[in-house]
Structure 1
Amino acid sequence: MSARGPAAGARAAAAALPSHRPLALYVHWPFCVTKCPYCDFNSHVRVEVDEADWRRALLAELRHEAAATPGHRLASIFFGGGTPSLMAPATVAAVIETAVGLWGADDDLEVSLEANPSSVEQARFAGYRAAGVNRVSLGLQALDDRALRLLGRPHDVAAGLAALDVAQHLFPRVSIDLIHSRPGQTVSAWARELGRALSFGTAHLSAYQLTIEPGTRFATLARAGRLLLPDEEAAARMLEVTDELCAAAGLPAYEISNHAQPGAECRHNLAYWTYADHAGVGPGAHGRRAGLATVRERRPEAWRARVARDGHGMVEARAVPPAEAAREALLMGLRLAEGIEPATFEARTGVALAAVVDPVARERLEALGLVARGERLRATRAGRLVLDRLVVELLSGPA
């Protein structure tokens, strides 16, 4: 099988089609080897998975979504989870080939897959590349064995670096994920760890602040006083250090937690942040496409049963009012370093940006250095650190 994967023929045939509205496709694989104590994602531990049955269900959902989105063309595919690197390469290949056959796609289609760096998953990397995956997001999470044990990760630093080496040899684009503001972590320790990560030479790095999410094991420990995170001042300084070191290494922040060399940004995630159409398949997946908000059944077995019965696992598909779309687009767009372009905002929400943003509040926030002056609505770095409050200040009421 060639490195271009089984979708190459379908993609080449689709290349002659006229330009269509771009669509970002998210595919959720809900299974993990273990449940990390900080994770509130829709992930589940199962001893056995009938992968052939799950593959059939995912393909059925693809056909349903394609029928609901005529005139669209794939811009990206993102396999998320859970742990997508537990999927057999044959399943990944079938999803890519079917999706490209249904929607069509350009030759530069971005196909991302989240992967853990265990030796078992590492062994599948060549198969994913052959299937058509051209971008891997590797969940290193930390470069300290003690921290990895605290985070409940099923790998150590040595395994993580071995997986990174394999990934960098196989995939054209590799991103690494790290978590900062961990219990006991200092600003200087984070700076050293991040500096080491930047030395690996990946063109993309995601650095997430550890937060305590309701319903997680960490939340239980925090309530009992057994888990203490760095204070707000230290956490804010870690964010500043992240921006400074990444920028100095040639990976400026293009979103609150994401840093990339120019041109290496994750196009799939940019679709979310710029409010482009995106479809989601698999348990718990969400979508915003053709003016509808879609939600899939969250529980894996219930989702599979619903797909078998109805041909899809969707439990909600509702029209998104323009005012709601505008607020969502404002919140997402302000995460970006480049901010919100007014014409794109209006085209994708049906609402003029000026109708949503309070001009008096905007002027006040500009004077405070939280919003940049100019045609685009753009939060400064200081503004992005208090984004939720910024959005509340900017909103002028129903559009």
Structure 2
Amino acid sequence: MTGSQDLALYVHWPFCVSRCPYCDFNSHVRAAVDQAAWRDALLADLAHEAVLLPDRRLTSVFFGGGTPSLMPPDTVAAVLDAAVAAWTPAADLEVTLEANPSSVEAARFADLARAGVGRVSLGLQSLDDAALGFLGRAHGVREGLAALDIAQSVFPRVGFDLIYALPGQRLEAWKAELSRAMSFGTEHLSLYQLTVEPGTRFATEEAAGRLVIPDGDTAADLFELTRSLTATAGLPAYETSNHARPGAESRHNLTYWRYGDYAGIGPGAHGRRGGLATTRRRKPENWLAAVVRDGHGIEREDPLDPHTRAVEALLMGLRLTEGVDLDRVARLAGGEAPVDLPAIALLGRQGLLARDGPRLRATEAGALLLDGILRAVVRPEPVPA
């Protein structure tokens, strides 16, 4: 479990070469970026968090985006140097960077490794050129696999993302693609079903009837196939969409799911600082101006009441294969855990939930129905006294 003095750091780099039609992340396309100004602003934003989070052990740093593989390696190095100066680094500090698998960015991998990155997550997204075109990706399969080869030669830890449940995708096609993906020997796979998010180009296409994603039954079959194939290959799911060899899980993301503290810097970054939720300004120019003016890019700091913290811990923790500790959730709530005990008992009898002492988890059958289970089990409002 995450220690009370442990801290993770998330660094958001918002820029991309182009915007993918499925993406609702805080990503922006700009013709030019003042790299020196951005490096200075990230360092200032980090320094602000360091003052408010003294005497912490830094367990992980995650550069996300956007496309952080577009960051100059010397900016990455400067941020890491500042982070380990501000906090005590864990002996096994995990430093992850998300990367696009283009040849231009792959050429920077060695420099990024020298800057201190030890783990890279590649956005391959598909091993089919037609699917990559549909997803709006700028790379092809050959270029992506070449970047994967370079990453595996440079970084100690490598994983990549794939998107499945694409329009018209059949079980046999996904089985062949996933089997090929697992043959590359990476330690971690993030496997996401395509979802249509509000405000994206895909949402517009779906509303116009030009995009139809697989129905619920087909999506469920694809999910079950994914869990079965990865488990058999020694890459079991440790979270709803994330699979890894035992010991190779993303320690940074585990901090989120185990409801630990994390500082978030950069445009749109979120953080959890004790009982406070922090949100940075989303638009890059507004964030940059705020840092210059105020010394940080924070837009909001919202106190989280005990019930809200307990609910957040439940919603995050039940995504994990290991489940969630209800005793800890109760401590966060300042009383009882905000769960419906009769619903837990019923779902247990149905084989969808399992309880071992205070630990509650979804079973393999329950993982398929997690959204419904959460609605049934978690009480979003406090029970009146």
Counterpart in the other structure of 1:274: 258
Q: Deviations over 1:216-270 (max 9, x none)?
A: 1111111111111111111111111111110111011000000001100000000
- The alpha-carbon deviation at position 345 of structure 1 amounts to 3.6
Counterpart in the other structure of 1:194: 178
Tell me, yes or no, if the aligned pair for 1:20 and 1:73 is still in contact at 8 Å: no
Counterpart in the other structure of 2:85: 101
Counterpart in the other structure of 1:45: 29
**1:29-44 aligned within 5 A:** 29-44=13-28
**1:57-76 aligned within 5 A:** 57-76=41-60
Counterpart in the other structure of 2:352: 370
Counterpart in the other structure of 2:367: 384
SS at match of 1:356: coil
SS at match of 1:377: strand
**Gap regions ≥5 residues in structure 1:** 1-18
Counterpart in the other structure of 2:322: 338
Moved over 6 A (4+): none
Counterpart in the other structure of 2:377: 394
SS at match of 1:45: coil
Identity %: 61
Q: TM-score of the superposition, structure 1-length normalised?
A: 0.93
Counterpart in the other structure of 1:7: none
- The alpha-carbon deviation at position 343 of structure 1 amounts to 4.3
Match of 1:126 among 75, 92, 110: 110
Cα distance in 1 between the residues matched to 2:309 and 2:153: 41
Cα distance in 2 between the residues matched to 1:66 and 1:256: 32
Match of 1:285 among 265, 269, 277: 269
SS at match of 1:208: strand
Cα distance in 2 between the residues matched to 1:317 and 1:385: 35
Matched positions, count:
379
Q: RMSD across aligned C-alpha pairs, in angstroms?
A: 1.3
Matched, 1:218 2:212: no
Cα distance in 2 between the residues matched to 1:78 and 1:345: 26
Q: TM-score of the superposition, structure 2-length normalised?
A: 0.96
**1:164-243 aligned within 5 A:** 164-243=148-227
Counterpart in the other structure of 1:160: 144
Tell me, yes or no, if the aligned pair for 1:331 and 1:391 is still in contact at 8 Å: yes
Tell me, yes or no, if the aligned pair for 1:35 and 1:44 is still in contact at 8 Å: yes
Cα distance in 2 between the residues matched to 1:63 and 1:202: 35
Q: Deviations over 1:10-62 (max 9, x none)?
A: xxxxxxxxx97110100000000000000000000011000110010000000
Matched, 1:297 2:281: yes
**Gap regions ≥5 residues in structure 2:** none
Tell me, yes or no, if the aligned pair for 1:370 and 1:381 is still in contact at 8 Å: yes
Counterpart in the other structure of 2:303: 319
